[in-house]
């Protein structure tokens, strides 16, 4: 069996319930923050109200393709910026950094239709067990940095698995993160302004299969929708189907 399916060592944690800080008994007493359930849910699963994808495929015929700039005075801007700054620092040495300069929301009917078909398929797999089905959060808003790929290409046609590299930690797939700070390291840099850009995407994570790193993964077992991993303090979701993600927001910021 592949040794990557085993943890290299057992780590013991000592948790202080009052401070939610955990000390790892690794000889160095490394500390990390432990989130309570409410904080963890708000950190991972935030959804902007009233801006969901259509509830049925037929609604796409009432949906015009658009590219809408979200303005700083709008509530939607605050929701997204608050989510962004959960993990992205605002200041360094007393100076403002990582200042959001633009938020764009996309609406492309062809991509949304494809996405909704996949969402219905994912839900229908568990129709025989309603309680189990209702316990699954099939959609999440997750971050994605496009690296050297212009985000406009993805906004126009969605993600392409064949653009992914073979050396990725969980194989050739599309990767999304719960933390903006993680995806920011893969953010695209605009050649004119120098600003960074990354997506906050609608993603069908469905029933995730938590898995250690394995570069040979090419797909997931029947009944699952995504691979779930943990990397540098962030949950990572990996998809092996182009239609399971929908470009929703593009966030642009200045690092200075």
pLDDT at residue 29 above 80? no
What pTM did the predictor assign? 0.74
User: What mean pLDDT, rounded, does the chain reach?
Assistant: 78
Report pLDDT digits (tens) over 89-144: 998 888 999 999 999 999 889 999 999 999 999 998 888 888 888 888 899 999 99
In the predicted structure, residue 59 carries a pLDDT above the cut 50: no
Q: Which bin fits 240, alpha (ψ -120 to 50), beta or left (φ > 0)?
A: alpha
Contact predicate 4/212, CB 8 Å: yes
pLDDT band at 65 (very low <50, low <70, confident <90, very high): low
Delimit the domains of the chain by residue range. 1-34, 47-254
Torsions phi, psi of 91, nearest 5?
-135, 155
C-alpha angle 11-15-17 in degrees, rounded to nearest 5: 160
The count of other CB atoms within 10 Å of the CB of residue 169 is: 18
Q: Token match 């062809």: residue?
A: 110
pLDDT class for 232, splitting at 50, 70, 90? confident
* Stretch 194-200: mean pLDDT: 96
If you ran DSSP here, which 8-state letter would residue 54 be given? P
Residue 14 structure tokens:
């000592």
By C-alpha distance, which of 247, 244, 224, 250 is closest to 115? Answer: 244
pLDDT in the model for residue 222: 79
CATH class of the structural domain 47-254: alpha beta
């Amino acid at each position: 069996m592949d040794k990557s399916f085993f943890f290299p060592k057992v780590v013991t944690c000592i948790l202080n319930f009052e401070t939610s800080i955990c000390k790892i008994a690794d000889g160095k007493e490394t500390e990390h923050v432990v989130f309570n359930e409410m904080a963890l849910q708000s950190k991972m699963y935030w959804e902007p109200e009233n801006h969901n994808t259509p509830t049925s495929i037929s609604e796409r015929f009432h949906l015009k393709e658009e590219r809408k700039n979200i303005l700083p005075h709008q509530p939607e801007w605050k929701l997204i910026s608050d989510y962004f700054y959960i993990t992205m620092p605002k200041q360094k040495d007393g100076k403002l950094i990582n200042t959001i300069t633009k938020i764009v929301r996309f609406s492309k009917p062809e991509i949304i239709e494809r996405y909704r078909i996949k969402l219905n398929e994912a839900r229908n797999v568990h129709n025989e067990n309603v309680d189990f089905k209702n316990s699954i959060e099939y959609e999440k808003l997750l971050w994605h940095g496009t690296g050297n790929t212009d985000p406009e290409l993805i906004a126009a046609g969605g993600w392409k698995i064949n653009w992914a590299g073979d050396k990725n930690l969980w194989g050739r797939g599309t990767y999304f993160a719960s933390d903006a700070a993680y995806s920011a390291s893969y953010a695209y840099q605009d050649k004119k302004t120098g600003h960074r850009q990354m997506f906050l995407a609608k993603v069908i994570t469905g029933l995730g299969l938590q898995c250690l790193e394995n570069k040979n993964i090419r797909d997931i077992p029947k009944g699952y929708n995504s691979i779930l991993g943990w990397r540098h303090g962030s949950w990572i979701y990996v998809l092996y189907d182009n239609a399971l993600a929908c470009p929703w927001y593009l966030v642009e910021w200045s690092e200075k």
